[in-house]
Amino acid sequence: MSASEAIVQYARVAIPVPLGQAFSYIVPPEVAGDVRRGARVLVGFGKSRRVLGVVIDVGTEAPDLPRSKLKPLLAVVDPEPVLEDELLGFLQELARYYVAPIGAVIELALPAVERTAAEALAKREAFAVKNALGRMVLNVSAVPTITVSEKLSEQARALRSHLLAHGPVTIPELGKTWRSARSIVKRLQGLGLVTLERVEERPDPFFAKVVRDIPPELTPPQAEAVARLIFALEAREKQSFLLDGVTASGKTEVYLRAVERALQLGRGAIVLVPEIALTPQLVTRFRARLGDRIAVLHSGLTDSNRHAMWRALRRAELKVAVGARSALFAPVHDLGLICVDEEHDGSFKQEEGVRYHARDMALLRAHRAGAVCVLGSATPSLASVALARSGRLEILKLPARAHATAVLPNVEIVDLRQIGPGPGGDRLLSLTLFRALQETLKRRQQAILFLNRRGFSPSLICGSCGHLVRCPNCSVSLTLHRSRGVSLQCHYCDYSTALPEQCTECKAMRLVEEGSGTERIESTLQQVLPAARIARLDRDVAAGAKSEAVLDRMRAGGIDILVGTQMVTKGHDLPNVTLVGVLNADSALSMPDFRASERTFHLLVQVAGRAGRGDTPGRVLIQTRQPKHPAIAYALRHDVPGFIEQELGDREELRFPPFSRLALIRFDALEEARALAECERIAIIARNAAPALVEVLGPTPAPLARLRNRYRFRFVLRAVERKPLRDALLAVARASVHRLVRMAIDVDPVNML
């Protein structure tokens, strides 16, 4: 071997294509010193494509391919790695666990503007990278040790005092208080009293002005939990905790104290919430305590705002990231703490693309980073309870509400088999609930009504022949909507059509509206309680970040009754809400899913927790036709431990998680026979891969047998141990699938539909 051959370097590059492998390239000698793990590089792919990838390995060991088949790297994009080693290693392990393409996984950690700039660069449009940097502004900081001259104007003194009290502020922000801010700052700079630094602007809709708060006195359980977390942070323990606290027990205050200590130790933190609707509330709390030292990451941001936050985190200008599940991939430097609020919530599971679970992966990232992880909930998931019982999570308890005058609400059952409707005639607005609403309004207090069905009526049926009006693309009924023009809509594929005048089957003019959605409930309430101020909170009126406007009105007292879907059950702190009505507790129990009982219990306890958070005791009415169902009976008593024991016993008997591991393999195609054939063929491959240790359940049609005009089949793999399940999954992933059929692997599925 010649000397020149001995020093040839090779790079393995992750490329954003749906293939479960990295690709090897030759590193040209002229860029050999610049190619590092985590850096982005431009490479040729296929016959003529130029794509941007991330280097995951570089070295002199030649790949198991002829050198003549290897292409050279075309360019190195980053002078420094775009992904730190800690984050890149975590992404690689996530890809292995979920049997996902490494290129697609790495894309999760890069904001959209970076990807857009990358595509432009691949087309030699280098200017796009320059334009992706964002707007620059001047940050002004006071120099505290300089003696102030008596010649300074009153405005200049006030501005400098403001800087000393609040830290660095941009000139545009100062201009909101002092009209001559720019000239005042220029004079102060000339006297050496302030310094200026050009930084990237971090605009964000949540960064309105907030008043600094005063930390409340901790309850003894809160103080104990905070002390344990701080000890773990200071000792740099790789420890994970389950913060099990009843609703309104002050879990957020525990997160705040832990994040504060992590920052004092020079380390970073990530705080995850399940919904965008919760993000503004949490951000406000954190900014009131920590100032503007946090980044907000969620899908409600524009690409440029998200990119600015990401860059500030990567440069360690900001050390705390708050957001929904995607914030897990924030490039936080020296990560010391991850908090997952409402860890039981199903929205932490990504249902498209890379199907990761942010709660589970938070535990993994914290462990790899040598960080502390805290999972918080009033209704812990059975998965987390099992981890705690196995010793992998340490339990911290908050058994009572944080405010001494706030107690858990009184929960009552309204048996819809025996109680008739109120004045509006809708059975979901029972007479008992109607009278409770009247009493609440009389006391000038607020109420929340929860119904997990949006629209006016969930279905339309022919009164003559019984024909159900269905979506032409999906095996579901169409929902009637009235608030924005009368139409029938599919909540899965967004198909919409006008309301028919007659039945398409028998031509009868007797189409009957079946059931009630949030829209109908809102309309009925406006008729029977005309003096009440009624609002609705669901995806039709308040999608994404718009929900905060509705919640702000509720907090300000501008709404008396709020009707909503799951969005109202989350951790909103609304002290004047004293009545909560669950209109139909049975709807979630009817889902074809082994977690239906657990989900129902979580929903009932969480929505009940919105009542009585202030000084006035709360009341919760649960309307049901199954009052003896365990999920309802235990929620009635606020008995979380009792429900957990009951449900764990049922799961163990049926060998469902947490007593086994599942993977769901879905197939869909335009042709029903082709989808079924591929599902059956791949199921045989999976069965042969680990015949003794992995059980194959199916193939069967999916509960939603047709979606967006594609027929769906699936089978489930079940195993006690992870390794044999992974062996079967690798065999499935490596199998070739017909080009007209799509296959998706979902490890630890949450949505079984």
pLDDT digits (tens, 9 = 90+) for 537-567: 888 876 655 677 788 888 889 999 999 888 7
Is 612:409 a contact under the CB 8 Å cutoff? yes
Specify the range with the lowest mean pLDDT, choosing from 325-339, 444-458, 505-519, 534-548. 534-548
Same structural domain for residues 249 and 372? yes
Q: How far lies 225's CA from each of 228, 271, 362, 376, in Å? A: 5, 17, 20, 12
Question: How far is it, in rounded angstroms, from Cα 408 to Cα 392?
Answer: 30
Same structural domain for residues 380 and 497? no
Q: How far lies 585's CA from each of 581, 590, 594, 650, in Å? A: 10, 10, 17, 21
Q: From 399, 390, 387, 401, select the one nearest 242 (Cα to Cα).
A: 387
3-class secondary structure, 480: strand
Which of 99, 131, 163 is the last residue in one of the domains? Answer: 131
| Mean of all residue pLDDT scores within the chain | 87
Q: Is 642's pLDDT higher than 70?
A: yes
> What mean pLDDT comes out for the span 144-173?
78
Question: How far is it, in rounded angstroms, from Cα 83 to Cα 105?
Answer: 12
- Can you point out the beta strands (E) in 342-388? 372-377
DSSP state letters, 424-464: T--TTSBHHHHHHHHHHHHTT-EEEEE-S--SSBSEEEETT
Which of 631, 650, 669 is the last residue in one of the domains? Answer: 650
Same structural domain for residues 581 and 639? yes
Same structural domain for residues 394 and 436? no
Is 753 inside a domain boundary? no
Pairing between strand 23-27 and 71-72? parallel
Q: Determine phi and psi for 47, rounding to 5 degrees.
A: -80, -40
Q: Is 528's pLDDT higher than 80?
A: yes
For the sheet with 194-200, list strands across it. Answer: 169-170, 136-142, 194-200
Q: Which residue has the higher pLDDT, 487 or 110?
A: 487
Is 334 inside a domain boundary? yes
Q: pLDDT-based confidence at 745, cuts 50/70/90?
A: very high
Q: Determine phi and psi for 84, rounding to 5 degrees.
A: -65, 160
Q: How far lies 189's CA from each of 139, 140, 193, 195, 453, in Å? A: 12, 9, 6, 6, 60
Is 506:464 a contact under the CB 8 Å cutoff? yes
> What mean pLDDT comes out for the span 177-192?
84
The token pair at 396 is 């911290």
Is 222:228 a contact under the CB 8 Å cutoff? no
Q: Is 128's pLDDT higher than 50?
A: no
Q: Provide the whole-model pTM.
A: 0.85
pLDDT digits (tens, 9 = 90+) for 17-37: 877 788 999 999 888 888 999
Q: Which residue has the higher pLDDT, 397 or 305?
A: 397
CATH of the domain at 179: 1.10.10
Same structural domain for residues 176 and 62? no
Distance of CA 281 to the CA centre of its chain: 15
CATH of the domain at 588: 3.40.50.300
Q: pLDDT-based confidence at 690, cuts 50/70/90?
A: confident
Question: How far is it, in rounded angstroms, from Cα 699 to Cα 704?
Answer: 14
For the sheet with 294-297, list strands across it. Answer: 294-297, 320-323, 268-272, 335-341, 372-377, 240-245, 394-398
Distance from the first to the final alpha carbon of the chain = 58
What is the b/e burial string over 519-546, where b = at least 16 CB atoms within 10 angstroms of the residue's CB? bbbbbbbeebbeebbbbbbbbbbbeebe
Q: What is the 3-state secondary structure (H, E, C) of 562-596?
A: EEECHHHCCCCCCCCEEEEEECCCCHHHHCCCCCH
Degrees to nearest 5, angle at CA 508 with 507 and 509: 120
Question: How far is it, in rounded angstroms, from Cα 450 to Cα 215?
Answer: 33
Q: Is 6's pLDDT higher than 90?
A: no
Q: From 158, 13, 18, 3, select the one nearest 82 (Cα to Cα).
A: 13
| 329 DSSP assignment | G
pLDDT digits (tens, 9 = 90+) for 577-609: 899 999 999 988 888 889 999 999 998 988 888
Q: Is the peptide bond before 699 cis (omega within 30 degrees of 0)?
A: yes
CATH of the domain at 74: 3.40.1440.60
DSSP state letters, 662-693: EEEEEEEESSHHHHHHHHHHHHHHHHHHSTTT
Non-local CB neighbours of 644 within 8 Å, separated by 6+ positions: 380, 382, 385
Stretch (H or E) spanning 499 = none
Pairing between strand 9-14 and 49-59? antiparallel
Same structural domain for residues 420 and 546? yes
Which of 617, 650, 683 is the last residue in one of the domains? Answer: 650
CATH of the domain at 678: 3.30.70.600
Same structural domain for residues 740 and 624? no
pLDDT digits (tens, 9 = 90+) for 485-507: 899 999 999 899 999 989 988 99
**Which pLDDT value is given to residue 419?**
93
Non-local CB neighbours of 570 within 8 Å, separated by 6+ positions: 274, 275, 277, 278, 342, 345, 606
Question: How far is it, in rounded angstroms, from Cα 475 to Cα 710?
Answer: 10
**Which structural domain, as residue segments, surrounds residue 185?**
136-200
Is 45 inside a domain boundary? yes
Same structural domain for residues 103 and 227? no
Is 594 inside a domain boundary? yes
> What mean pLDDT comes out for the span 42-61?
87
Q: Is 271's pLDDT higher than 60?
A: yes
Is 404 inside a domain boundary? no
Specify the range with the lowest mean pLDDT, choosing from 335-339, 390-394, 464-468. 464-468
pLDDT digits (tens, 9 = 90+) for 57-92: 998 888 878 887 889 998 888 778 889 999 999 999
**Which pLDDT value is given to residue 714?**
97
Q: Exposure of 346 by Cβ count < 10 A (0-12 exposed, 13-18 middle, 19+ buried)?
A: middle
Q: Is 652's pLDDT higher than 80?
A: yes
**Which pLDDT value is given to residue 2?**
47
Is 538 inside a domain boundary? yes
pLDDT digits (tens, 9 = 90+) for 208-233: 556 677 888 999 999 999 999 999 99
Q: Is 129's pLDDT higher than 60?
A: no
Same structural domain for residues 19 and 93? yes
Same structural domain for residues 430 and 461? no
Question: How far is it, in rounded angstroms, from Cα 435 to Cα 529?
Answer: 11
Question: How far is it, in rounded angstroms, from Cα 10 to Cα 287?
Answer: 46
Is 196:298 a contact under the CB 8 Å cutoff? no
Q: Is 400's pLDDT higher than 90?
A: no
Q: From 38, 72, 66, 74, select the one nearest 54 (Cα to Cα).
A: 38
Is 28 inside a domain boundary? yes
Is 244:341 a contact under the CB 8 Å cutoff? no
pLDDT digits (tens, 9 = 90+) for 659-680: 999 999 999 999 999 999 999 9
Same structural domain for residues 414 and 537? yes
Q: Is 130's pLDDT higher than 50?
A: no
Helices (H) and strands (E) in the chain, counts: 22, 31
- Can you point out the beta strands (E) in 49-155? 49-59, 71-72, 75-76, 136-142
Is 606 inside a domain boundary? yes
Number of domains in the chain: 6
pLDDT digits (tens, 9 = 90+) for 351-376: 999 999 999 999 999 999 999 999 99
Same structural domain for residues 503 and 521? no
The CB density around residue 135, as the number of other CB atoms within 10 Å, is: 10
Rounded to 10 degrees, the C-alpha dihedral 220/223/229/235 comes to -110
Q: Is 262's pLDDT higher than 90?
A: yes
Q: From 319, 278, 318, 314, select the one nearest 298 (Cα to Cα).
A: 278
